Amino acid sequence: MPDGFEKMPMPKLAGNTHLKKTLRLIKSSPGYISGEEIARALRISRSAVWKQICRLRQEGFSIDARSGAGYRLLSLPDKVSAYEIAEGIETVSVGREIFYYASTESTNKVAKTRALNGAADGSVIIAEEQTRGRGRLDRNWLSPPGKNILLSIIFRPGIQPREVFSLTMLSSLGVIKAIESRCGLSASIKWPNDIYIGHLKTGGILTEFNAEQDRVDFAVVGIGLNVNFDPAGYPEIAGIATSLSRESGKEISRVSLVQAMLKEIDTLYTVFKRGGFSQIFVQWKACSMVIGKAVTVISQNRMEHGVVDSIREDGCLILQVENGGRKQIFSGDVSLRFQE
C-alpha cells in the first residue's frame, strides 16, 4: 500500500465543543441571541464567542450579527461539514471522529495517512471534492465538488487479511439501507464493490488495507456515492451511471444521508466485531443483484463466462462455467459484466 505523508490542510474537528454548543444555541434560538447569553452558557468571554461565530461563518453558516441584538442563523451551509454530521448522530465508533476537507486529493489517501498516524477506529474522512479520486486499479472516480458523498472510514477490527472483504460487504449493506430509508429507493449490490439502482451504477467502494503478517493493522473503506449530480454531463460515465436525485426526482440532503450511512455502518460494524457476520451476510446476499445471472468476469488477463451460482460468506463468487464446471472467483481486482 502506498504510504508517504501528504501535506494536508488543517481539518475541522467534530470534537470542538464550544463551536458545537454555539451552533446549537444559535440554531435553537427563534430570533437573535445575544453574545452575552452565549458567553454565559458556555462560560467563555464575549470575544471567544465572536471567534466561534467567525469559524462558523468560515464553515459556510450564514450568521447575521446585529449590534444590540446579537446573532441569528440565516442559512445552513450546503456542506457535509463535520459539525453538521456529528450534530445529529450517536454511534459507537463510526463517525465519532470526523475530518472534513473542502478539497483533497483522495479521502482514501488522507485516511491511510491518518491511520498510519494513529487515527482511531471508526474515524471518517469526508470531502466536498477530490482532485484525484480513485477507483480500483487506479481508475478515475468522477465527482463535481459539493454534489455527492465522498468519504473514507478507517477500521481497526483486528482481523486477518482474508476477512477484509467483510468490511466492504458490511459498508455496502449500510449504504443500501441508508439509501432506502432516506431516499425511498431500492438499491442493489453488484459484486464485488458497486452500488446500483436498476442497471446503472450510483456508487462504488474502494477498500485498501495495511497488514503485518496475518493481522490487519487498519483497513480503509472509501465510499463514493452519486447524490445530487447528473452524470449525463460526463461522457465517460453518461451511459453507465446514475444518481440518487436523478432516480428519486428530488434534491437529497447529503448531511442527512451521510448520517444515516454512518449510523447503519456503525450498527453493522458493532455486530461484526461481536462475531455476528453471518447475520450481516444473509442481508448482504439478499441485496446482491448477480446471483443467477449470466455474467462475464474480467480480471487483468482473463475473461470467464458463466452463470453466478452463489457467493460464499468469505466473498468468493462461485461461477458455473459453460463446460459444467464451477470456478471460484475471489473479489480481488475483478470486474463483472452482465451478458446481454
What are the cell numbers at 226? 452519486
Among 45-53, 90-98, 133-141, 288-296, which window interacts with ligand BT5 (CB under 6 A)? 133-141
Count of chain residues binding ligand BT5 (CB under 6 A): 28
Q: What is the DSSP string of 217-266?
A: EEEEEEEEE--S--GGG-TTTTTTB--HHHHHTS---HHHHHHHHHHHHH
What are the cell numbers at 216? 490487519
**Quick one: residue 165, left, alpha or beta (phi over 0 = left, psi -120 to 50 = alpha)?**
alpha
C-beta of 83 vs 229, nearer to ligand BT5: 229
How many other C-beta atoms can be found within 10 angstroms of the C-beta atom of residue 319? 22
Under rule CB under 6 A, residue 205 binds ligand BT5:
yes
| Binding track, positions 316-335, relative to ligand BT5; x by CB under 6 A | --------------------
Stretch 94-113 residues interacting with ligand BT5 (CB under 6 A): 106-108
| Binding track, positions 113-132, relative to ligand BT5; x by CB under 6 A | -----------------x--
CA dist., res. 181 & res. 271, Å (int): 20
CA dist., res. 208 & res. 205, Å (int): 10
Stretch 55-94 residues interacting with ligand BT5 (CB under 6 A): none
Stretch 220-279 residues interacting with ligand BT5 (CB under 6 A): 222-224, 226, 237, 241
- Candidates 141, 191, 196, 269; binder of ligand BT5 (CB under 6 A) is 141
CA dist., res. 89 & res. 212, Å (int): 34
Residues of the shown chain interacting with ligand BT5 in the complex, contacts defined by CB under 6 A: 106-108, 130, 133-136, 139-143, 150-152, 193-194, 201, 204-206, 222-224, 226, 237, 241
